[in-house]
């Protein structure tokens, strides 16, 4: 790789001269994958009509953001409350963090519920599944009930094409209210996984999972049904669960967390790393509207190509079409932006860490800064240059069309467009041709000069 450092060394060796010029206008992806749809100000919560279902949205992926999205529903779970989530296959790391959801689950006085897998793995038996749940931190925040530990119960499927019954964990009968808390992401078979998958395959017993995967033909093997038949069976199973709790506006609520947006499911022990930025948290009383809104946000994201390809390659949207056709919910929704009218967003900050020492930069609101953040996290080498700077090379070029020229000295974080390197200044500099400011150090600036070797660049 030809870097500024090797280029200058080559110049010195040959006593040549050169003019560094030119402008790379490669566009890059912004930090967040949130589109700019027409959003409505929050209104008083109401039970959604099937025709247009409210979907509440916040970009804040935090315990507070989760609580705010759920509270907007005006949903008060009664009786014995279940929170259905994926405990995550051991080896994977994209499942919802107990640190994110712990306060929420405790606030409901809920039990975390799951069912055993049908593909074996480390969650194929109740004993191993509970061990995985403990290892992933879920038993530390709530009781965990593997609902098919004592077998299955049958729920009728009304209006189904493939299923006449849905076999779910027998313990489902013990619960009066259910909150689906799904990690929205891709899925190797369904294209995507959200509320519908969480409440169909996720609540199905081992036998029920086989029934869905085989499109109603077997409780002992997956079979090989047509893809659309499998997708339709997922929708039908989710409707059976919804109907059991009173349908839309009944005793179920749905939350999707759009972070760690891998093309693979949390049931994968080796999921692909996400290729897109986190989006936010969405909540609705209508599972179809919720999943539709999440899919639309993926399609609107500038960095969503990999997940879009996964959805389309499995015809994933057909699940929503069938779900709507059989009355599970509506694909017509109103996206209610819970962030509208709130205080100004916190500035973007990043950490650059080397050998245990960190410098924190507050970035400006430029396309270049957003483009850098959109590539994080990064692990790469730092290269000293001259007597006043350290440099590193992000994988993709940054768009400097609206970035200010760099001025000043120590603590400046800049991008040298002709060579595509990010520059961390620890002393004064002069001249700024092709050098654009990304931000300034707000902590740890004294650590820059001593950096050597490998650095980690992450969101602060």
Summarize pLDDT for 135-146 with one digit per residue, the tens: 999 999 999 999
345, pLDDT greater than 80? no
Q: Which CATH architecture has domain 11-29+348-459?
A: Beta Barrel (2.40)
pLDDT mean across residues, the chain: 88
CB 256 within 8 A of CB 69: no
Parallel/antiparallel/unpaired status of strands 421-425 and 191-193: unpaired
CB 178 within 8 A of CB 145: no
The average pLDDT across 327-335 equals: 97
What's the pLDDT score for residue 195? 99
CATH 3.40.50 fits 53-337, yes or no: yes
What's the pLDDT score for residue 341? 66
DSSP calls for 191-225: EEESHHHHHTTTTB-HHHHHHHHTTTS-SS-----
Confidence tier at 332 by pLDDT (50, 70, 90): very high
Location of structure tokens 């039970």 = 47
Query: How many whole angstroms separate alpha carbon 68 and alpha carbon 64?
Result: 6
Find the length of the chain: 460
Closest C-alpha among 179, 287, 174 to residue 237: 287
Query: How many whole angstroms separate alpha carbon 432 and alpha carbon 422?
Result: 14
CA 278 from centre of chain: 5
Domain positions in the chain are: 11-29+348-459, 53-337
342, pLDDT greater than 60? no
pTM: 0.67
pLDDT single digits (tens) 50-74:
468 999 999 999 999 999 999 999 9
What's the pLDDT score for residue 29? 32
Strand partners, 86: none
pLDDT single digits (tens) 256-312:
999 999 999 988 889 999 999 999 999 999 999 999 999 999 999 999 999 999 999
pLDDT single digits (tens) 366-418:
999 999 999 999 999 999 988 899 999 999 999 999 999 988 688 999 999 99
Q: How far is CA 98 from CA 86, 106, 226, 247, in A?
A: 11, 11, 37, 29
42, pLDDT greater than 70? no
Strand (E) or helix (H) holding 363: strand 357-363
What's the pLDDT score for residue 430? 72
CB 380 within 8 A of CB 393: yes
**CA-based max dimension of the chain:** 83
């Amino acid at each position: 790789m030809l870097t500024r450092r090797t280029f200058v060394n080559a110049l010195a060796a040959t006593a040549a001269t050169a003019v560094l010029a030119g402008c790379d206008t490669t566009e890059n992806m912004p930090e967040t994958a949130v589109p700019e749809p027409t959003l409505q100000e929050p209104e008083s919560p109401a039970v959604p009509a099937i025709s247009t279902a409210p979907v509440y949205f916040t970009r804040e992926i935090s315990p507070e953001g989760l609580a705010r999205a759920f509270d907007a529903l005006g949903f008060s779970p009664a009786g014995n409350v279940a929170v259905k989530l994926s405990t995550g296959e051991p080896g994977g790391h994209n499942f919802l963090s107990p640190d994110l959801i712990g306060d929420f689950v405790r606030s409901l006085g809920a039990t975390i519920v799951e069912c055993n897998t049908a593909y074996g793995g480390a969650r194929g038996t109740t004993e191993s599944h509970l061990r995985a749940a403990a290892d992933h931190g879920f038993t530390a925040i709530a009781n965990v009930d593997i609902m098919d530990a004592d077998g299955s119960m049958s729920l009728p499927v009304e209006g189904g094409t493939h299923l006449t019954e849905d076999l779910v964990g027998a313990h489902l009968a013990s619960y009066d209210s259910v909150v689906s808390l799904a990690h929205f992401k891709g899925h190797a078979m369904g294209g995507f996984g959200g509320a519908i998958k969480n409440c169909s395959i996720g609540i199905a017993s081992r036998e029920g999972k086989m029934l869905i995967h085989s499109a109603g033909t077997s409780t002992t093997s997956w079979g090989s049904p047509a893809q659309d038949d499998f997708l339709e069976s997922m929708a039908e199973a989710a409707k059976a669960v919804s109907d059991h709790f009173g349908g839309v506006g009944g005793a179920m609520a749905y939350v999707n967390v759009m972070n760690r947006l891998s093309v693979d499911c949390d049931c994968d022990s080796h999921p692909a790393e996400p290729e897109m930025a986190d989006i936010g948290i969405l909540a609705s009383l209508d599972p179809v509207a919720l999943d539709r809104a999440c899919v639309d946000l993926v399609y609107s994201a500038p960095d969503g190509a990999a997940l879009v390809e996964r959805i389309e390659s499995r015809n994933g949207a057909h699940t929503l079409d069938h779900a709507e056709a059989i009355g599970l919910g509506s694909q017509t929704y109103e996206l209610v932006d819970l962030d509208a009218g709130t205080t100004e967003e916190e500035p973007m900050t990043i950490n650059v860490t080397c050998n245990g020492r960190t410098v924190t930069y507050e970035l400006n609101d430029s396309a270049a800064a957003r483009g850098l953040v959109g590539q994080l996290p990064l692990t790469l080498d730092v290269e000293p240059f001259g007597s006043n700077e350290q440099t590193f090379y992000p994988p993709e070029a940054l768009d400097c069309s609206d970035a200010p020229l760099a001025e000043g000295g120590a603590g400046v974080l800049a991008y040298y467009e002709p060579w595509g390197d990010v520059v961390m200044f620890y002393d004064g500099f002069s001249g700024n041709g092709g050098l654009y400011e990304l931000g300034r150090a707000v902590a740890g600036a004294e650590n820059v000069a001593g950096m050597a070797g490998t650095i980690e660049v992450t969101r602060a």
